[in-house]
Structure 1
Amino acid sequence: MSWTKQELIDFCIRKNIPAESYSLYADKDEAFCLDKFGEEWRIYYSERGQKNELAWAKNEAQALNILKLFLLEACKLI
């Protein structure tokens, strides 16, 4: 499934995943983050100014899907 930013936000709302636990396209402390790095997309956890890389994706839809899986795992929903 190809995800869009709005679809991920709507999904997180339905699953009661706190908006504070993630950030799309910007760094945010104590959160799972997604941003574009060159031609690829990076998913990482930001903690105390450190970006702990979790995964890379070739396109935005793939990156949003990967981020969704990390959020579900972190919230113990899978």
Structure 2
Amino acid sequence: FTRELLVNDGRGGVDEEDYPDEWRADGVTLPLTYTFDPTAPTDGVTVDIPLPLLNQVPAESFDWQVPGLREELV
């Protein structure tokens, strides 16, 4: 499918900045992956944290949502 076929101009645009490729906090940068499958436990946004970095990532850093999914969160 083309972008024009998937995005309805009358419903607002899709901005790539609303769906970042990386998560950053306290000097740590990790990749984000997106899955759309409401039946899967991985549905949504996933941050994979390598075990050696786990104790360096503050839990408070995860009280956010990527901008493109904030409306769904509300």
- Fold shared by both chains (TM-score > 0.5): no
With structure 1 as the length reference, what TM-score do the two structures score? 0.25
Return the structure number with greater strand share.
1
